[in-house]
Amino acid sequence: MALNKDFLKKIKEKLESEKNRLEQELADLTFKKGKINETIFPEYGDHTGENASEVASFDNAVSVKNTLEKELRDINDTLKRIKDGTYGVCKYCQKDISKNRLEIRPTSSACIECKNKFSGKS
């Protein structure tokens, strides 16, 4: 199944919009140190309770940063697959990924059958 240009354009626009949103969220949460995004450590004060809150906030921010970076990596990988013409093909069995799956989860790189098999759901 070859995906038509309109479908690919719609998916690409959706991905680029999501990419911009993720990059903005990362920029709000981190500061750039070379090529690495470092999480901002909050400063609430010097009391024990404030220090505990700082550590909890930082821990949460690191978790959110890691999630955002993974989502951004998935989007960049997907945009590359669109560009090189391999988008919509399962990376495991090389069969087409259903259009419905791609509409629901545009970053899918595996068909439902392989996803279920490798996640232990088959």
Domain limits of the chain?
5-87, 88-122
- Please, what is the average pLDDT of the chain? 85
98-102 long-range contacts (CB < 8 A, ≥24 apart) are 99/1, 99/3, 99/7, 102/3, 102/11
* pLDDT reported for residue 51: 58
Q: Are 87 and 7 in contact (CB under 8 A)?
A: no
pTM: 0.77
Percent pLDDT > 90 in the chain is: 59
Averaged pLDDT for residues 89-113: 96
Q: Are 81 and 87 in contact (CB under 8 A)?
A: yes
Q: Residue 33 pLDDT > 60, yes or no?
A: no
